Structure 1
Amino acid sequence: MAAASSLPKPLRSLLKRLLGRWVAVRHLEPDPTTLALNPQAITLYVLPRPALSDALLLECLCRRHDLPPATGRYRVAAQRLPAMLALPRPQRRHRRHALHDAIDLVAEHHDLEIQLIPVSIFWGRAPGKRFGMWRLLAADSWPLTGRLRRALSVLVNGRDVEVQFGAPLHLRDLLDDRGTALAERKAARLLRVHFRRVRTRVLGPDLSHRRTLIQGLVASPSVRQAMAEQADIEGRPQARLARRARRYGHEIASNMTYPVLRFLDGVLRRLWNRLYDGVDVRGLERVKVLAGDHTLVYVPCHRSHIDYLLLSYVLYRDGLMPPHIAAGRNLDMPLIGPLLRRGGAFFLRRSFRGNSLYAAVFTEYLHRLLAAGHPLEFFMEGGRSRSGRLLTPRPGMLAMTLRSFHRLAADDDRQRLAFVPVYIGYERILEGSSYQRELRGAGKRKESPLGLLRVLARLRQPFGRVAVNIGEPLLLAPFLDASVPAWRSGEATSRAPWISESLPRLGTELAQRINAAAALNPVNLVALVLLATPYHAIEESLMARQLALLAALQRRCPGGDHASLPEGEPTHWIDHVIGLGMIRRRRHPLGDILTATPEQAELLAWYRNNVLHLFASAGLVAFAFRHEAHHDLTSLQECLGPPWPILARELFLPGDSLHRTLPALLDALTRAELLNADAQGWRRADALEASEQLRLLGRLMQPSLERGYLLLSLLLEVPTGSHDRDGIIERSQQMAERLAMLSGRNAPEFFDRRLFARLIDSLEAEGWIVQREGRLYYATALPEAAQRTRALFDPALRHRLQLVTRD
């Protein structure tokens, strides 16, 4: 850092004061107090390249955060070590570097400790580009920068600076019997790898010009082959088809630009502050560990249009490169589409069927994004969930990602790709009323700029908090090695056996990991309790006790490995939900009562379904004690065994989770005094309050069990093979709608056609029914399993369901 040290002291002080007044560090990671520095060691700061602006800013930061000084020199024996140095360049190894002196001193003096702190400073967050005006202004693109560009960057990007401190590197740990020269090379290599990983994580890989990228797509072998095949079919010249392929490329490709990213960061920061009380992010450290050397594919649940913006904002804010986002072509509308495209969105049609050329262009574009290492984001559910449940993963984007990874791994078996499951949970969503209209049968409204204006008009309403929980990342190569080892030697065509075998497993595994990171909040907790009451009314004191019970169950026997609970107490949660206008409090001399109007109850069902899976096993166990007051472990496993695999598939839970957690769950219910343990097993508590709480807990699973009961009754009332798939789904939906009307439920999601379709799929997956020539045939084990499941229902409830199924 000769440039900084050679400046006259008055000039350096003046520049530091100017820099301190102008520069704003937007993101500093990690907190300097967590660096775990050795106070007895000499601390040397290492920058990736010599830059006066970086050196002066680092000096200011060290003084501001009470870190060891980054100025001056340490005198050790006859040597003087600079407190700040730049990473030695490989082409200048013949020159003696301060790092060499430091290692020599550590080798000579056994009581001397020297620690290196790598520091990365980014002036702006421009993705690397080799073109355009921002190459001049955004200094932290991949190429090194000159003094003029650095000065311009400080002026332009001084309010958008990010600083990343690395973990201390202790030089003594690098020394061994092979000498100091090897230790120096090892230290330089470790520092270079660290700086490269940090730059990749923050800036992403180099971006090509959009026009160049599209020309490359059209010239690729796969697209040229598709053009040749299309030319033979249509009898058109290939030049005309090449123009069509270029149009497809322009229709698809994103055009991520730094000015728009920076603009969106400012706009979205104001929007979230206006719209929400806060954004809670958990688990992002799991992504940062992988971001430097893995291609990341984010797979969030899809609940709202806000999902597109929220995840990119969170990643950008916390020092990660925003992903390229697969968006529906319906969002490529005037004003909105160009802005999304420059923010990283690329657009795809809802179906590729019948257009092989478009499919080839899109597949090649996706492959090039992944081959370059760009982070990617897509919603594997295909669309937003109108019921609040996680939808069945669709194979399209997952299959294209698998095929692209196979191509990359064939060239380099060290390729690393990780899926990052993300749960996004809202206390109140913008689209609530439109979802309810669509569940009642209304058509989906087409997105338009006018619809955006209608949304903006509601920004003054309270929307509470929003949670972004990162689940456990899935490393693709180890997953494929364990589930379908033949993938390495197989082909990557759409009909390859390993593709068709791995897709359902991959989709289910990712869905389970999303659900395992669900966020409980006051709204969905209150919805779980209130909707379990017959008339959507409950005493406030009982609500508080039941909320405390759900929180205790989640702490003692978590429904998800990375699930989260809200802060505060149940009484605060109730007040918060009332403040959001989701429920009402009715004052009464004998105790306040909480109620929900039919419209509120219908909307609360959406929030309940977000997290219902977290209490599926607890609800099922509680339901088992509704009819039978006493159970031992064997009888519980016998009666819960048949329905659990179906419920687990419906709610995307591991199939063995009930068996693994049942003893701990029974212990948690005993601690909560809802069950009493004795030598023979467990007995339902006699206390009135405990009995009521257990009943409310059991009613969480009652709608799912009733749907299964209706479907099985239809299947088994006639000889096997009498029903076709669509017919029994239609009939089951009608019976569920009839049951909802007779029982006073105002819940269109209860008779959602997709739930019965998923039930049929689950029965097929379990081998209880098979489909031949369009007819459904049930196995001999199904009547026995149905009989054991019916034993869960008390006679009164069983009688009511039989009345509904009667013609």
Structure 2
Amino acid sequence: MSETSSQGFWQRLGCQALGAWLRFRSIDPECPKTLLTGHDRPIIYILPVSALSDRLALSIFCQRLDLPSPDGNVCLAHGQRFPARMALFDATHYRRHRGHVDRSTSLDHLITALEEYPDSDVDLVPVTLFWGRAPQRERVGLRHLLTADGWSLVGRLQRLAGVIINGRSLEIRLGEPVSLRTLMAHGEVDQQFNRTRITRFLRRYFRRIRLQAIGPDLSHRRTLVRRVLRQPAVRAAVHDSALERGERDEHALQRAERYGFEIAANMSTPVLRFLYQVLGRLWNRLYDGVDVHGIEDVEALAGTHELVYVPCHRSHIDYLLLSYVLYQQGLMPPHIAAGRNLDMPLIGPLLRRAGAFFMRRSFKGNRLYGAVFNEYLHQLLSQGHPVEYFIEGGRSRTGRMLSPKPGMLSMTLRSHARAPSRELAFIPIYIGYEKVLESNAYIRELRTGKKRKETPLGLLRVLRHLRQPFGRVQVSVGEPLVLGSYLNQRFPDWRSQKPGPEADWLREAVPNLSLEIATRINHAAALTPISMVALTMLATPHRTIEIDLLMRQLKTLYALQERLPGGKRVRLPEQGPREWVERSEYLGMVSRIEHSLGDLITVSDERAPLLTWYRNNVLHLFALHALVAFAFRNNARLEFTTLESLLAPIWPALQQEFFIEADDQAFAEHLNGVLEVFVALGLLTHQGDTWQRPETGDEARERLYLLGRAIQPTLERGFILFSTLMHYPNGTISREMLEAQSQLLAERLTRLQGLNAPEFFDRRLFAGLLDSLERDGWLWQSQEKLNFDARLPEALMKSRMLFDPALRHRLTELTAGRAHSEASA
């Protein structure tokens, strides 16, 4: 038997032995057959190393999908034949020389042939296999985890164990075919140059795929901390701290080392994979499914950019859910910045091994801790580790996007400024729940104003909810923001300035960038049945509505986002109004009252505060629609110029509060677009330049009224704040006092109206409104007192047209009474 036929025999025998065992999951692309169709040139598969298990697995995969076989030879135009499968490196040499090998005899011969025969060409198809990386088919067990793929090239015995144990969870990735002729340099260059050039291209490709799938090689935690302590900035902070305390540098260095270990993650690949298998089962118990949108944008950047994931923060589940989704999609889970309050017994060590690194709520007064944390973050980013943090700081108890905190963003920008040649991209992510786990805790915290401390026992209590239905989860990727391009456009000379806190561009970039990221998160919001039902039910006077009117209103809300969406990447729900109402009943958000004249849908007093959380998830999408609708609540008809002058001063503040993009389009154009949609849906009529609401008793008028009521709490809060401020002479009331008085007045209003709405008087909402007014120049502080622009009283008087006389009188009387009592005291 010849050597070639002998090799073919053993190849077929190996394929038959493994064929019944191997199970594949294909990524990039999901349908590899479409990738390789329509190519006239011969195809040669390129593997990173010549491992027997990879060669056999590729043969079985191609046979099952009817792809060109890698086992034979390909014939070039001049008649010379080459193997249809090549390896970039020989595994034995690669292992022996610790990776410092760039030799491939077959590839050398192929390059030589193409240099001799210019009419010949082939397509190279890079192939990467991951044993034990397919998350949908992984099993729980230590033996599966220890034999899964990592960065080290294992020996034959461990490879055999990996094939046996992880053969049913094999992930394979085929790259885009690339012409070898295109990769070769033109002109008179020698073969060595071409070989080096092509080998480096393929090495970079395989490294990018491994970075995308399993992240950078995880160094030991102690090694990373020691590297942080060696950096000049940390050494300088150690010396300064020692001088301040009057101690030796060695003692300050020991303290810095303790800080490092307090902060640093201890990510463990076996623990990661074990957790994601367990979490997969948990999600199946908790949720009906997790819908992921826009992940292809992340895949396009992974491996070539430093990724910083910036999701909204609605639940403790956010940490785990996003990491699970990324792992399931074939991407490396990130290192996650977590509050030190989560570094508790049992939970803390587990989170640390899953990639969490812990930070104190404040660095104030401890420059050494700040230097260590800054350097640790820089080391993570510079080594290519994806990072995740929440720019809101803490979880949103109200369901809306909170004002971003500048700390982590500022540290990220300074890190990027130290090495601006590296590409860094922010990935905004919106996470929407049909039913959130902490709902009852949020209502309790809003009522009492006190946040319960996290404990292991408290987190474990979540397990008692496993039998409840929690619906579906929406994970939507917003438009990525490439930092270098963003800074080049807005701060052209940022590269020439030092990255210290005194840099002018940094002071301006941090708040602008935080608002941009928050806006992109909101633009990717997912409209769910629960959020639309909440928008409608909370707009009814007694939280009860006829089911027919509810379904018509739900249809109207859907049509508004379909025709004039409130964000660039808004996700609309599937099915229709009837199914949305039934889903809300199934999740216990509303209940049905059967009646002979038609069923009614109602919300209990206990559930009403919770529905505000789901309404606030998506209220920003309807902010302009609702504002226009509210203007017609107490005005039967309005001319366009009157409507514009009435709403234009209010809209910028709403944009700031709801993180809505402030584009170059004039407000009049936005307003005209809303009016046209309202006419198309029958909510308004118009003659010439005058717009009119439907007549009393018309069903369309009810829909317009319900839509306008969605924005009423926001406008009432603004009226309370401004009215309170106007009762004090300019420059006589502090910001803290104004916030406190406005909160008390809002709380009193809810009591007088018989409402159970603790979210309405959340002090952070008043603080956020004041922030936006200061940014726009309406307010400023001088000697810790607030001063206001002369335009503010005029805008307040004009806004009175929006409110009905009874409500206007109550709000005015409320604020005047409070100011009078304060003055008397």
Q: 1:297 offset after TM fit, Å?
A: 0.6
Percent identity (aligned): 52
Q: How does 1:159-198 map to 2 (within 5 A)?
A: 159-171=168-180, 178=187, 188-198=199-209
Residue 494 of structure 1 pairs with residue 504 of structure 2: no
1:260 corresponding residue in structure 2: 271
Counterpart contact for 1:547–1:570, Cα < 8 Å: yes
Aligned-partner residue type, residue 268 of structure 1: L
Match for residue 315 of structure 1 among 320, 326, 343 = 326
Aligned-partner residue type, residue 747 of structure 2: E
Deviates more, 1:576-585 or 1:738-747: 738-747
1:117 corresponding residue in structure 2: 125
Residue 337 of structure 1 pairs with residue 345 of structure 2: no
2:251 corresponding residue in structure 1: 240
Residue 210 of structure 1 pairs with residue 221 of structure 2: yes
Whole-angstrom CA distance in 2 between matches of 1:224 and 1:103: 55
Residue 426 of structure 1 pairs with residue 433 of structure 2: yes
Match for residue 675 of structure 1 among 668, 684, 707 = 684
1:690 corresponding residue in structure 2: 700
1:571 corresponding residue in structure 2: 578
Deviation readout 1:24-48 (Å, 9 max, x if unpaired): 3355332125426215543332222
Structure-2 change in CA distance of 1:447 and 1:101 (3 Å): same
Q: 1:366 offset after TM fit, Å?
A: 0.9
Structure-2 change in CA distance of 1:96 and 1:422 (3 Å): closer
Match for residue 337 of structure 2 among 323, 326, 330 = 326
Structure-2 change in CA distance of 1:753 and 1:147 (3 Å): same
2:635 corresponding residue in structure 1: 628
Structure-2 change in CA distance of 1:724 and 1:16 (3 Å): same
Deviation readout 1:138-163 (Å, 9 max, x if unpaired): 57433544434432332344344321
Structure-2 change in CA distance of 1:189 and 1:212 (3 Å): closer
1:63 corresponding residue in structure 2: 63
Deviates more, 1:141-150 or 1:49-58: 141-150
Whole-angstrom CA distance in 1 between matches of 2:416 and 2:595: 63
Structure-2 change in CA distance of 1:95 and 1:751 (3 Å): closer
1:47 corresponding residue in structure 2: 47
Aligned-partner residue type, residue 360 of structure 1: A
Counterpart contact for 1:529–1:543, Cα < 8 Å: yes
Residue 785 of structure 1 pairs with residue 801 of structure 2: no
Q: 1:227 offset after TM fit, Å?
A: 1.7
Counterpart contact for 1:88–1:188, Cα < 8 Å: no
Q: 1:69 offset after TM fit, Å?
A: 2.6
Deviates more, 1:792-801 or 1:535-544: 792-801
Counterpart contact for 1:135–1:141, Cα < 8 Å: no
Task: State how many pairs are aligned.
Answer: 791
Deviates more, 1:134-143 or 1:426-435: 134-143
Q: 3-state DSSP class of the match of 1:485?
A: coil
Whole-angstrom CA distance in 2 between matches of 1:98 and 1:664: 65
2:97 corresponding residue in structure 1: none
Whole-angstrom CA distance in 1 between matches of 2:67 and 2:691: 59
Structure-2 change in CA distance of 1:288 and 1:6 (3 Å): farther
Aligned-partner residue type, residue 341 of structure 2: N
Counterpart contact for 2:54–2:129, Cα < 8 Å: yes
Q: How does 1:458-477 map to 2 (within 5 A)?
A: 458-477=465-484
Whole-angstrom CA distance in 1 between matches of 2:486 and 2:614: 32
Whole-angstrom CA distance in 2 between matches of 1:47 and 1:174: 17
Whole-angstrom CA distance in 2 between matches of 1:308 and 1:724: 38
Structure-2 change in CA distance of 1:274 and 1:232 (3 Å): same
Residue 512 of structure 1 pairs with residue 534 of structure 2: no
1:129 corresponding residue in structure 2: none
Structure-2 change in CA distance of 1:442 and 1:10 (3 Å): same
Q: 1:772 offset after TM fit, Å?
A: 0.7
Whole-angstrom CA distance in 1 between matches of 2:270 and 2:777: 55
Aligned-partner residue type, residue 63 of structure 2: R
Q: 3-state DSSP class of the match of 1:585?
A: strand
Give the unaligned 5+ runs of structure 2: 91-100, 135-141, 818-825
Whole-angstrom CA distance in 2 between matches of 1:802 and 1:163: 68
Whole-angstrom CA distance in 2 between matches of 1:804 and 1:634: 32
Whole-angstrom CA distance in 2 between matches of 1:357 and 1:175: 52
Counterpart contact for 2:287–2:472, Cα < 8 Å: yes
Q: 1:600 offset after TM fit, Å?
A: 0.7
Counterpart contact for 2:620–2:660, Cα < 8 Å: yes
Structure-2 change in CA distance of 1:427 and 1:139 (3 Å): closer
Q: 1:124 offset after TM fit, Å?
A: 3.9
2:87 corresponding residue in structure 1: 86
Counterpart contact for 1:73–1:82, Cα < 8 Å: yes
Q: 3-state DSSP class of the match of 2:575?
A: coil
Q: 3-state DSSP class of the match of 2:607?
A: helix
1:395 corresponding residue in structure 2: 406
Q: 1:714 offset after TM fit, Å?
A: 1.4
Match for residue 640 of structure 1 among 647, 663, 678 = 647
2:38 corresponding residue in structure 1: 38
Whole-angstrom CA distance in 2 between matches of 1:563 and 1:105: 56
Whole-angstrom CA distance in 1 between matches of 2:104 and 2:82: 18
Whole-angstrom CA distance in 1 between matches of 2:716 and 2:55: 68
Q: 3-state DSSP class of the match of 2:382?
A: helix
Whole-angstrom CA distance in 2 between matches of 1:759 and 1:797: 21
Residue 532 of structure 1 pairs with residue 542 of structure 2: no
Q: 3-state DSSP class of the match of 2:448?
A: coil
Give the unaligned 5+ runs of structure 1: 127-132
Structure-2 change in CA distance of 1:389 and 1:174 (3 Å): same
2:111 corresponding residue in structure 1: 100
1:558 corresponding residue in structure 2: 565
1:481 corresponding residue in structure 2: 488
Deviation readout 1:350-381 (Å, 9 max, x if unpaired): 11222222222111111111111110001111
Aligned-partner residue type, residue 512 of structure 2: R
2:821 corresponding residue in structure 1: none
Whole-angstrom CA distance in 2 between matches of 1:781 and 1:177: 68
Whole-angstrom CA distance in 2 between matches of 1:396 and 1:524: 31
1:374 corresponding residue in structure 2: 385
Whole-angstrom CA distance in 2 between matches of 1:731 and 1:336: 40
Whole-angstrom CA distance in 2 between matches of 1:210 and 1:187: 35
Whole-angstrom CA distance in 2 between matches of 1:537 and 1:741: 20
Whole-angstrom CA distance in 1 between matches of 2:726 and 2:5: 89
1:20 corresponding residue in structure 2: 19
2:750 corresponding residue in structure 1: 740
1:130 corresponding residue in structure 2: none
Whole-angstrom CA distance in 2 between matches of 1:102 and 1:583: 73
Residue 654 of structure 1 pairs with residue 665 of structure 2: no
Deviation readout 1:459-490 (Å, 9 max, x if unpaired): 11000001111111111122222233342222
Deviation readout 1:405-443 (Å, 9 max, x if unpaired): 11122xxxx211111111111011110001100000153
1:282 corresponding residue in structure 2: 293
Whole-angstrom CA distance in 1 between matches of 2:4 and 2:555: 61
Counterpart contact for 1:673–1:690, Cα < 8 Å: yes
Counterpart contact for 1:139–1:149, Cα < 8 Å: no
Deviation readout 1:201-238 (Å, 9 max, x if unpaired): 11222222111112222232222222211211212222
Deviates more, 1:169-178 or 1:543-552: 169-178
Counterpart contact for 1:524–1:608, Cα < 8 Å: yes
Whole-angstrom CA distance in 1 between matches of 2:116 and 2:594: 77
Aligned-partner residue type, residue 412 of structure 2: T
Structure-2 change in CA distance of 1:448 and 1:105 (3 Å): farther
Q: How does 1:726-737 map to 2 (within 5 A)?
A: 726-737=736-747
Structure-2 change in CA distance of 1:714 and 1:37 (3 Å): same
TM-score (normalizing by structure 1): 0.93
Q: 3-state DSSP class of the match of 1:23?
A: coil
Q: 1:14 offset after TM fit, Å?
A: 3.5
Counterpart contact for 1:102–1:114, Cα < 8 Å: no
Counterpart contact for 1:724–1:776, Cα < 8 Å: yes
Q: 1:73 offset after TM fit, Å?
A: 2.1
Q: How does 1:122-161 map to 2 (within 5 A)?
A: 122-124=130-132, 140-161=149-170
Whole-angstrom CA distance in 2 between matches of 1:94 and 1:119: 18
1:349 corresponding residue in structure 2: 360
